[in-house]
Copies of this chain bind each other. A is one copy, B any other.
Amino acid sequence: MNRSELLSFRQEALEHLTTELLPFWVERMKDEKNGGYITHFDVNGHDTGEDEKSLIAQTRCLYTVSSAHRAGYGNGELAGLAKHGADFIINKMWDNEHGGFYWMMDRKGEIKIDKKILYGHSFAIYSLSEYTLATGDPRGIEYARKTFDLVQKYCTDTYYGGYFEMFSRDWVLAGPGSQGGDRKTLDVHMHLMEALTSLYACSGEEVHRRKLLEDIDLLLNRINHPVYKTGIPQFYKDWSIAPQIKFDIIWGWDRFSEEGQKGNATDNTCYGHNAEFAWLLIHALDVLNIKPEVYAETFRIIFDHTVDNGIDTEFGGVYVEGPHSGGVYDKEKEFWQQAEVLIGLLDACLLFGDEKYWDAYKNVHRFVFDKVINKGVGEWFPLLTRHGEPIWTHMGHSWKINYHTVRSMVQSIERMDKIAAKL
């Protein structure tokens, strides 16, 4: 690995973050009229007028501006923008009767969907903890704690372990099948690890640490494939593998077939999730003061699976998904998978020092900077063909927001600095 090459990649990331990504959002996201963030933008970065504010998008925006402020970007301006979003989340989205956050509001802050979804509450814990870490405003950790308490009360499965995910407004568990009440997912348990990591980093409370450690055990021993260490997307409540179906209340713009079930529904793993899981776990271990070497073998297997199967050595970038044992089903390119694999590969470089991880990083980095970024606008296209032609072109909506893109740049720069310090 060449130091000047590394620094040129770092510089490219820094310029993108500070002159394109952050300005894109700072100029557009503040809803001066109604509070909270505007999150729907078209290919040209114009507000589409879509009348919704999702729990996911509001909390992810709060995370983005809080974490960027904490990392030293924005000359202080991002703290005010974070407070603006925290005010809306706390004052408008919190359910004073039953506790927890509503799933979907309109722009004015009226309820559109009142269901309680663990995925969203996980991001509430994550962003509100990060907000207090970044600004010192005690309301963030206060509401993160309250949300944690509700999650422990209503979502845990005290028989099989793990968490149920879908509830009505008053926290009654949803029915089975597409209502999601009988399922447990990689997605939710992984984002809960991310959330509990920040919660514990902020609170230092033993119970937050303990539940984080338990969630890590769930991910390593129930959710990851026993041989390939790749993530299995969906389970029944007893942790037997469930076919990957689409839920009535979705949290991402996923591409399911008409039947509402994934092709290869029971043998499917997602490269972006695997790399994201690995780096989030490395970060969690760092916060827990546990050496990542304890899980070195697992990290090696995950990163090798990503590099060997998920990287397109011909056209660049990261594929969508494939079988656990290797190979690829879906060769299109999703924005968030690029973002997460970038961070993961830099962690692989730091942990193992192998040149092949750096080569893979450079591949994905070039694909992102040459194909994924919407030049002159500043955000990333959400979905592209294998060759890098945009398929979806919106810059923001309820499930596509700045969390993956900004975090990828902030975290990648931090890791490249660590690598450079060793060279």
Q: Which residues of A approach B to under 8 Å, CB–CB?
A: 148-149, 152-154, 156-163, 171-173, 206-207, 210-211, 214-215, 217-218
Contact = CB atoms under 8 A, between A and B. Distances in A.
Contacts of A153: 148-149, 152-153, 207
A173 B208 CA distance: 12
Given A158-B215, A159-B218, A161-B157, A207 B171 contact: yes
12 contacts: A149-B149, A152-B156, A156-B158, A157-B158, A157-B214, A158-B211, A158-B214, A159-B215, A160-B161, A172-B206, A172-B207, A173-B210
Contacts of A161: 157-161
A272 to B, nearest CB: 25
Contacts of A158: 156-157, 161-163, 211, 214-215, 218
Complex copy number for this chain: 2
A158 B158 CA distance: 6
A121 to B, nearest CB: 14
B154 A207 contact: yes
Contact of A159 (B171, B172, B217): B217
A143 to B, nearest CB: 16
A214 B160 CA distance: 9
Given A149-B149, A206-B173, A214 B159 contact: yes
Which 9 pairs, one residue from A and one from B, show the smallest C-beta to C-beta distance? A159-B214, A152-B153, A158-B214, A172-B206, A159-B217, A161-B161, A159-B161, A156-B156, A152-B152
Given A156-B158, A159-B161, 4 more contacts: A149-B149, A154-B207, A159-B215, A173-B210
A113 B215 CA distance: 32
Contacts of A172: 206-207
A171 B211 CA distance: 13
Contacts of A171: 206-207
A115 to B, nearest CB: 15
A91 to B, nearest CB: 24
A158 B206 CA distance: 15
A155 to B, nearest CB: 9
A360 to B, nearest CB: 33
A185 to B, nearest CB: 15
A61 to B, nearest CB: 29
A380 B128 CA distance: 57
Contacts of A152: 152-153, 156
